[in-house]
A = this chain, B = another copy of it.
Amino acid sequence: MRKIFEAELKQLGNDLVDMSGQVEVAIAHAGTALLTGDLQVAETVIAADQAIDALERDLDTRCVHLLAQQAPVATDLRIIVTGLRMASTLERMGDLARHVAQISRRAYPRLAAPQALSGTFAEMSAAATRVAQRTTTLLETHDLDLATSIEEEDDLLDHLHEDTFTALLGGNWNGTPQETVDTTLLSRYFERFGDHGVSVARRMVYLVTGEFLEDGSPVR
C-alpha cells in the first residue's frame, strides 16, 4: 500500500515536471511568435494550451483522490497540497503564453511589438523563458539555488516592465492606440510570468525546508 502511494507521489512530481516543460515550450514559442510574427507558431501555442489545462485538471483530480484515500500527513501532505497549487500556477502561466500568442495572431501580418520596443520585448521573452526553464529544473532537481535565480529573473522582468512604461509615457511615444494597448498588455503578461515563477519557487522552498516565505522576502 505504502509502495503504491509512494509511486503515485513520484508520478505526481514527474507530471508537474512534464507540465512545467510544456509551459516552458509555450512561453518560448509565444516569444518567438511575438518577435518574428510567425502565425503558425502562435497557433501552436494557442492550441497547446488545452493540453496544459487538461494536465492541470488531471493533476488536480489525482491530488484530491490521494488526500481522500491516503489521508497523508507531514511531508506527504505537503507534497500533495503544494502539487495542487503548483499545477494551478503553471496552468496560469500557460494562459499567459496563450494571451501573448493571441495578441501576436491578432496583429498578423504586422508585428505586435512596436519596433522601438522590440529589444525590450526580446529581453522580456528571454527572461520569461529562463524563468520557465529554471522552474522545470527546480521541480526536477529540488535545487534551491534555482529558486534564487528565478527571483533574479523576476526582478529583471519588473525592471523591463518599468522600462516599457517609461517608453510609453516618456513623451516621445508616437505609437498608435493599438500599439499602446498591445504593448501595455504584453508587458503586463511578461511581468506576470516572473510573479508566477517566484510563486512556484517559494512553494518548492516550502516543500523542501518547511518554511514558507512572505511576499517580498528573498527565497532563501
Interface residues of A (CB under 8 A from B): 53, 64, 67-68, 71, 73-74, 77-78, 81, 84-85, 88, 165, 168-169, 173, 175, 177-178, 180-181, 184-185, 188, 215
Contact = CB atoms under 8 A, between A and B. Distances in A.
Contacts of A181: 165, 168-169, 180, 184
The 6 A-B residue pairs whose C-beta atoms are closest, nearest first, are A71-B71, A180-B180, A184-B184, A181-B184, A173-B177, A68-B73
A88 to B, nearest CB: 8
Contact of A177 (B74, B85, B180, B188): B180
A1 B54 CA distance: 39
A175 B10 CA distance: 55
Interface hub of A68, A169, A180 (most chain B Cβ within 10 A): A180
A137 B60 CA distance: 27
How many copies of this chain does one complex carry? 2
A55 to B, nearest CB: 14
Contacts of A215: 53
Nearest to A188: B185
A36 to B, nearest CB: 24
A188 B191 CA distance: 15
Contact of A74 (B68, B81, B85, B168): B68
Contacts of A64: 77-78, 81
Nearest to A80: B67
A167 to B, nearest CB: 9
A21 B190 CA distance: 31
